[in-house]
Structure 1
Amino acid sequence: MPANPREHTRTYFLAKLAGELERHGLTATLRADPPVLRVSDPDTVMLAETVDCVPLADGWFYRWSWGELVGLVDEPARAAERIVRVLSRG
């Protein structure tokens, strides 16, 4: 069964974020069903987080696994910087 347009949109935005995270030295693995990004620091294997993206009234946003928003999908570099900061505190 082909993915619906919303899943394609999620995959597109998550792939943009993955590229930014990899530029910061993190590992970002895109999972397909449902589309989520598994982010980890290769130097600290035990530290990892899952990020997805969701449409809200103000647009599409990246979101942590616990539901807090990371940032707008229109600003993947900024969202990546926030993820790097949070993972580096672990």
Structure 2
Amino acid sequence: MSATPREHTRTYFLAKLARELELHGLITTLRAYPPALRVSDPDTAMLAETVDCVPLPEGWFYRWSWGEIVGLADDPALAAERIARVLANR
């Protein structure tokens, strides 16, 4: 099965987010199909979250597993800060 252009776009944005999250000391694993990013804190291995990337009329956005928007995919650094803060507060 070959990836669609939309899946390539998701993977591109998720890879950018993964780099930013790793700068925060978090562990990331990119799932290929459907594209999604599993994020965990190495200090508390039990804490993990899945983030995906979706197109909306205003652009591409990172989204939590429960559907709430994390942030604009054009600003992976800000999205990574939000994700790191949420995982740190659990």
TM-score when scaled to structure 2?
0.99
Moved over 6 A (4+): none
Corresponding residue for 1:54? 54
* 1:40-79 alignment, distance < 5 Å: 40-79=40-79
Root mean square deviation of aligned Cα: 0.3
For structure 2, the 5+ residue unaligned runs are none
1:61-90 CA-partner distances (Å, limit 9, x unpaired): 000000000000000000000000000011
Question: Alignment partner of 2:74: what SS?
Answer: coil
Q: CA deviation at 1:16?
A: 0.1
TM-score when scaled to structure 1?
0.99
Letter in 2 for 1:57: P
Q: CA deviation at 1:47?
A: 0.2
For structure 1, the 5+ residue unaligned runs are none
Matched, 1:29 2:26: no
Question: Alignment partner of 2:48: what SS?
Answer: strand
Corresponding residue for 1:87? 87
Aligned identity (percent) is 79
CA distance in 2, matches of 1:29, 1:18: 8
Matched, 1:13 2:13: yes
